[in-house]
Structure 1
C-alpha cells in the first residue's frame, strides 16, 4: 500500500494502516481486494480533503452525513466511473467504517446506510461449443515459440475444461502437476474446492511442461512468461485477442468467457445447478442461476428456428 502520503490526519492514517493489516490477516482478503479497497478509500479521503477544506480526522469522519457520501458518489459518476467500480468502492468504505466502529474509533450510521448504485443485470455470454473448442485447440497458433503455444493451450484448457478463473489457473504451483483426477483450487475468499480434471486438460499441462525451457521448483508458478517470471493475465488476454481475429471468433471470446462456457455447456448437458455452483466456487446459488437464463435463451432461439408452430405452421 505504497504511494503518496495519505490525505488525512495522523489518527486516520493510523486507522487506515490498522484496517489494511486487518483485511490481510484477520479477514484473509486477497492481495487484489486489499489493494482495491485501499485505493478506493484513498480516493475517498482525497475527495474529503477537498470537500471539507482540510485533511479529515476521525472526528470529521464520524460527523459525515448522507449528503457527503452522495456528493462523493456524484463526483465518481461525473468522472465516468462504472457502477460496478463505484459499488466496490462503497463496499470498501463500509468495511473501513465498520472497522472504526468495532475498534471504538468512531461511529457513522450514514456510511453504512448509503445505498450502492444499481448494477445492470449482467448475463454471462458463453461461446458456442465449436468456438470454445477452437479457442483451446488453437490457442498457440500465433505463438512465437512452440513451448509458449503449449503453455497458452494448457491455460485455456484449464479455463474451459475445469471452469477456473484466470487468476486461479495462474496461481497454480509447479507442484500441482502432473494433474490427477481432481485439482484443489483456492478461489475467492480463500475458499477451497475440488474440480475434476479431464484427461485432455492433464495432457495439455504435461505437454507444456515437457517443452518449458525453465527448470521450475515445486513452489514456483506452474505457468511462466517468456523470461521465466510469473505469467501475467494480460499476456493470456492479449493472446486471446489475437486469436479472435485469426479464427474469426466473436468479440466476446475472452479468457473469462471460457469459464462461462464451461458452466453453460454443463447445464445444457443436464448438469444440476448445485453441482455447477460447487465446481465454479460460487458462494451464492443465485450467481450460478444466471446460467439458467443463458440456457433458456438458447432453447428459445432453437425453438424459434426449428419448431413448426414458431414458424406459423399447423
Structure 2
C-alpha cells in the first residue's frame, strides 16, 4: 500500500442525531427497495434527512424471524419535531407502501439520548383505525392498509454521532472511480455503525457561493473540466481526471475513523491503486465542522 499519496490534510465533520432502525420483509427484493428507497436523496445540507444502509442481517437477528436490514437516518439540526416529520416522509413513502414490511427500533436496548414517537406522523396513516399491540416483545403500531398491514415500533430511539467524515480519491481513469469506489463502500459496510450516505459522490462542495439560495455549490478549484479555464487557482493535480468523494457517518468518532481507514486501505490495496494519484479530503479550513480528522493520523 502506497501511503505516500495520502495528503497531510483533514476531513471536517460535525455532530448530528441519528436513528438506527431495522426493516424486515418477506422477500429480498422488497427488503432492498425499502432500505435503499428510504435512505436515498441525502438532504442534511438543506435541513432534511440523510440516510444509508448499514448492513443486511439474517433471520436469526430479527424479532420476527425474517430477513432484515439495518438502516440509519441522520439529522443535523436540534429540532426534534422537524426530525420526526422528515423521517416520517421516508417511512410513509418508501417503507409503509411496500408489501409486508415492518420497522423496529435498533437495537432494542439502548443507552440513547431519547426517542421519537411514531404514532403522530406514521401511525395515523390508519386514519384512526390503527391500534397498538404487544408483538415480538415490542410495542407495535398496526397501521391497517390494503395489503395488511404495516407494523412499526411505537418509539424509535435516537442518539448522537459523527456526520460528514470524508475522503477524496483522485483518479486517472473512470474504471478507478467506480471500481475503487465500490470497494470503499463495501469496506465501510463491514464496519458496524458506519454508513456512506452518498455512495460514490461526484460533487465536492464549498461554503462560499454566488447563489446562496441553492446552498452548497461546486468546489470549482477541484473541477477537472475547469482546470484550463482557472489554471491560476485550480487544485487538480497533473494526470487527475476525476475526484470522487466518499462521505461517512458513524455512530461515534472511532467508528467514523475506522470506516475511513478501512475504506482508504481498500482502495490503495486494490488493482486500481496505480490509477490513484492522491488521497485527500474535503474541509472548509476548520470553519464549519466541530471536529477534524487528519488523514495521516488514521495510519
More helix by share: 1
Higher relative contact order (CA 8 A, sep 6+): 2
TM-score band (shorter)? under 0.3
Q: Say which one has the larger Rg.
A: 1
TM-score w.r.t. the length of structure 2 is: 0.28
